[in-house]
Amino acid sequence: MAKYLDPKADLTFKKVFAEHKELMISFLNALLPLQPGKEIVSIEYLPAELVPVNPDKKDTIVDVRCTDTVGRQFLVEMQMYWTGMFKRRTLYNTCKAYARPLKKGENYGEVKPIYTLSLINDVAFPELPDEFYHEFVPMHRNHTDEIIEDFEMIFVELPKFKPSSWQDRRMAALWLRFLTEIDENTKESPVELASDALVAKALELVEESAYTDAELYTIDRYWDRISRERTIEIAAERKGEAKGRAEGRAEGEMSKATAIAQKMLSKGFSVEDVADMTRLTVDEINAF
């Protein structure tokens, strides 16, 4: 019985999709909103590093970056948890990659379409509980059917995915099941995944036996880092919530003290007596 590693980990994800073109092509064709007849036929991998124009800024890295025979670019990222900055970073990477191919002297007609596929192992859009696939394109504010087709960002929330929701898209469902149903606790892979040759190959690539001790150590370190980052993120959220509650209580107490002070003043109490009874300052009372 095979023992599997989680394909969402950085090293395993890249071993599957950044080293085997046929798997990357199948994955992109299944999950991107490509029109019939415009499917990806062949790809070439590009450096994942996108160097900013400002050299003082840290380089940004995507998990897989490739281009096809007609010049379209594809960025694929695996994100273990969602933060407010991730959408902005995705937009930055997409814009940077979109502008990068234009060389001096070329016209803007040479700029090719770009697709960014962000896979998120978290809930990014809780206000949309029944949707896990989110496609963003630049569009006319008043005429939403008028869009700029060369620039698309797709976010896929893996925790919301249910196979039944994409029965009409078999390969997309298989690839998403591969990402969501296979991990270190998997005892036996689902028969449906092994029935497709490409997904079956991906399963072989995440078998623990295919990794060296050094690679397994790297994967363990990766999950440790993710746990630490997640813990810090949760602690920050809780601190913010506690601060908000404290500020709310303080605001409520201030409002109550103000109402009492105003009532006391109306009954002829001196400002000094009001300050003594309500703990408001004289300046705060005089500001009424």
pLDDT in tens, 187-196: 889 999 999 9
**In 148-209, which ranges are continuous DSSP H helix?**
170-181, 191-194, 197-205
Of 17, 27, 66, 13, nearest to 44 by C-alpha is 66
Burial class (CB within 10 angstroms; exposed 0-12, middle 13-18, buried 19+) of 129 = exposed
pLDDT at res. 269: 75
Classify 1 as helix, strand or coil. coil
Does pLDDT of 84 surpass 90? no
* Residue 75 tokens, joined: 């960025």
* Residue 32 tokens, joined: 């991107």
55 pLDDT tier (thresholds 50, 70, 90): very low
Classify 139 as helix, strand or coil. strand
pLDDT at res. 65: 92
pLDDT at res. 59: 47
- Percent pLDDT > 70 in the chain is 84
Contact 158/120 with Cβ under 8 angstroms?
yes
Q: Quick one: average pLDDT of 35-58? A: 75
Beta strand 133-136 with 43-45 is unpaired
Q: Quick one: average pLDDT of 101-127? A: 78
* Residue 233 tokens, joined: 């993120």
pLDDT at res. 47: 86
Does pLDDT of 249 surpass 90? no
Q: Quick one: average pLDDT of 217-243? A: 74
Q: Which residue has the higher pLDDT, 269 or 240?
A: 269
Of 61, 49, 15, nearest to 215 by C-alpha is 15
Q: Which residue has the higher pLDDT, 124 or 285?
A: 124
* Residue 173 tokens, joined: 């469902």
Beta strands, E only, the chain: 43-45, 49-50, 60-61, 64-68, 73-79, 114-120, 133-136, 151-157
Of 129, 118, 121, 125, nearest to 155 by C-alpha is 118
Q: How far apart are CA 171 and CA 149, in angstroms?
A: 24
Of 20, 48, 4, 62, nearest to 216 by C-alpha is 4
Kindly report the pTM of this predicted structure: 0.75
Beta strand 49-50 with 73-79 is unpaired
Q: Quick one: average pLDDT of 214-242? A: 77
Does pLDDT of 119 surpass 80? yes
Does pLDDT of 243 surpass 70? no
